[in-house]
Structure 1
Amino acid sequence: MSEPMRVVVVNQSGGLYGIERMLLALLPALRTRGVDVTFLALCREEDEGGALGRLLREQGIPVHFVPITRFVGLGPLRRVVATLRACDPHVVHVHGYKAATAVGLARLLWRRPVLATVHSESASSKDMRAAMLAETTFCKSFERVIAVSTGVLRDLQQRGVARDRLAIIQNGIVDRFAVVSADPRGERDPARIVAVGRLVAVKRFAAAIHSVAALVRQGHPCTLQIVGDGPLRPELERLADELGVSAHVQFVGFVDEVTPFLAGASIFAMPSASEGAPMALLEAMAAGCAIVASRVGGIPDIIRHEEDALLIDPTDETDLTRALERLLLDVSLRERFATSARRRFLEEFEAQRMSARYVDAYSTVAAGDA
């Protein structure tokens, strides 16, 4: 292709969570590779979900806002079509069920090749069956569907997406921890554990609080920083109080940048019951943390048990406590896992590697070879 590849990336955001952090890494990296990339946000600029678009615009990426609420109405749909026509992309790249639905409907009026990235398994969205059905219907017609893990790929196959339309591209992030590579331990609190994510049941922050309480009772003084916010925060605060560990559990709340918290902790915990390809895990790898994470979803694709981390069974109530205790007591093990995890991040999950894989996928789709 003699002219630059033109790509419009479409997403409806509710805040700066996993998908948004992936896009904050991907779009600037695409631009450095010569891709003419534009972002279409399916929300209002002034809303919380508009933060992603605002941040991308600050980096010089063109951004358009077309608000879409619960349903994709005819008016917003026409605006989506008009925006896509004006951008005239070679490929439209959608993230999330609302973007897949809006662009899928838009193709009835204006057709361009579409590549969709699916970030999680349908089992993690049981309360959104209608939305998942719509996403599945349109993904079956898109030229290429990218899964962020083998688990998501298997789920898409079970949902009826043809295998020859599917590929895996694992998420990546920008390396903000270059200094860590010289000294992976840095100035860290050896007894600090950090956990990052939205405070919802699937993340199992209650299990982390129970583990800290057990460790303190066993004579292992440690602290847990929970970075994130969500509907379960009052319940989790009560739990820490009931277990007598309020002084050992810090609720940081939502932050735009988790880097300082990862850089100050020795251990990162992700005891989730379900995950796709979690960005917080990649950030912990980049930061040089020793990691304990559940053996679910795409996590085993990203990090290896007893090589880069300790992987636990989220259905075993004591597995998390035992893993945390091992890392708290064994400095050399923490350092070995931290160094290995960072090396693996640099080899497989840095943003430029991810963007190179997407450029190849765009070229294939635009050429009609998908």
Structure 2
Amino acid sequence: MRLLFVVRDLGLGGVERCVVLVGSWLAARGFKVTVAMLGGSRNLWGARTATLEIVDLSGAWHPKKPWTWFAGWCALRGLAQRHDAVIAATFLMPLYLTWAATRGLGRRVLGWVHGPLAEVDARAHMNPLHRRACQYIYRRLPELVFVSAHARDSLARWLGHESGVVGQGVAQRWQVIPNFVEPQPARPAGPVRDPLRLLFVGRVAEEKQPALWLDALMALDRLGHAATLTVVGDGPLLPWLQEEAVRRGLQEHLIIAGRQDDIGAWLADADWLLLTSLFEGCPLVVLEAMRAGLPVVSTRAGGVYELFAEREADFVTGHASGEAIAALIVAQAPHHAEHAAWLRWRADAYSPDALGARWLHLLENTR
């Protein structure tokens, strides 16, 4: 089977990583996988994409240059004609151009929804034209794949389905296949350390609520627990974070590691992973922590709670505050080893082979 993913580019974002992971897994099982890049020529995945055909269309098409739109449409349509199925890997431009370029071709077209769009729109205040265009296309795409039930229900609310409930006919075309990550080296067993070692991995931006990280450090100190926080990543609020840490007298407790391509060593050296996002679909970093056996403390950030099933209360705070995060860390501490073992066991449900089999079933069986 020939499969085409449409993306902006292949940077280090979560969507791009998912495309590489799923695409390379399918390629290893005989699929001919192509990735079309619309917004840029970056491919930061190197050998990971060696089994994929990477096509850079950014030189032929630019969203802010209307005179290039027809050329971009023709280029993507030509690619789509060579493939059996086309997946718009994210919303906005990949969604728009996939929809336009596949009209009348008779190809199978799927949309891949990674985030809870009702929450994303509420926070980011999407341009009304983009909102209407995305809603129009998502209502008409034959099939949608979601990374979590939360993302599915969020789209249902965003599209105006009453109470976020979808009808039976729609539900049959809307499939949930969570993200997966590669195996991680198991974190060394042992007691939590003094000071406690907290870890954040991701983009230092408003939607990650970095003020909560410093609030948690201060709350832990008030509870008699010294702690350090290592931040692996960069982003627009990184300078603010460093300045705010100095203002609060926490500069000795904050370690900035910058962006890292391989976070395995950082997971192995931490005692807890923090996730404090305003919204998430199916966060890859939490899956990586689970596979490594690193306990997690998270706010109720969208689909993250689904990863913990009936044990949500062990890993997710009741509300988003430094005090709540610190209290959950202190409550977890006596059960640290047991939580680590359970997370490793739970992560088996999110292995590449378990979830890749669901992608195979989806793609090999038309509805």
Give a deviation string over 1:80-118, Cα, whole Å, max 9, x none. 112223xx2111122111211110010236441111110
Q: 1:74 aligns with which of 70, 77, 84?
A: 70
Give a deviation string over 1:248-293, Cα, whole Å, max 9, x none. 1112222222221111111111122211111111111111101111
Alpha-carbon separation, structure 1, partners of 2:235 and 2:95: 26
Q: Compared with structure 1, are the counterparts of its residues 62 and 241 closer, same or farther at alpha carbon in structure 2 (3 Å cutoff)?
A: same
Q: Compared with structure 1, are the counterparts of its residues 41 and 302 closer, same or farther at alpha carbon in structure 2 (3 Å cutoff)?
A: same
Alpha-carbon separation, structure 2, partners of 1:297 and 1:83: 35
Q: 1:13 aligns with which of 5, 9, 14?
A: 9
Contact 1:188 1:263 in 2 (8 A): no
SS at match of 1:128: coil
Report the more deviating stretch, 229-238 or 119-128: 119-128
- Does residue 105 of the first structure (1) align with residue 100 of the second (2)? yes
Could you tell me which runs of 5 or more consecutive residues in structure 2 were left unpaired when the two chains were aligned.
161-165
Equivalent in the alignment of 2:86: 92
Alpha-carbon separation, structure 1, partners of 2:131 and 2:342: 37
Equivalent in the alignment of 2:264: 259
Contact 1:308 1:340 in 2 (8 A): no
1:51 maps to amino acid:
L
Contact 2:180 2:287 in 1 (8 A): yes
SS at match of 1:298: helix
Contact 1:184 1:335 in 2 (8 A): no
Contact 2:192 2:336 in 1 (8 A): no
Q: How many residues align?
A: 347
Q: Compared with structure 1, are the counterparts of its residues 344 and 151 closer, same or farther at alpha carbon in structure 2 (3 Å cutoff)?
A: same
Equivalent in the alignment of 1:352: 353
Contact 2:10 2:37 in 1 (8 A): no
Could you tell me which runs of 5 or more consecutive residues in structure 1 were left unpaired when the two chains were aligned.
none
Alpha-carbon separation, structure 2, partners of 1:306 and 1:149: 17
Contact 1:21 1:279 in 2 (8 A): no
1:82 maps to amino acid:
G
Alpha-carbon separation, structure 1, partners of 2:231 and 2:174: 36
Alpha-carbon separation, structure 1, partners of 2:347 and 2:191: 21
Equivalent in the alignment of 2:114: 119
Normalising by the residue count of structure 2, what TM-score does the alignment of the two structures yield?
A: 0.87
Q: Within 5 Å, which residues of 2 pair with 1:139-150?
A: 139-150=138-149
Q: CA deviation at 1:166?
A: 0.9
Q: Within 5 Å, which residues of 2 pair with 1:165-314?
A: 165-177=173-185, 180=186, 185=189, 191-304=196-309, 306=311, 309-314=314-319
SS at match of 1:140: helix
Q: CA deviation at 1:339?
A: 0.9
Q: CA deviation at 1:127?
A: 3.2
Alpha-carbon separation, structure 1, partners of 2:34 and 2:48: 9
SS at match of 1:7: strand
Normalising by the residue count of structure 1, what TM-score does the alignment of the two structures yield?
A: 0.86
SS at match of 1:103: helix
Equivalent in the alignment of 2:163: none
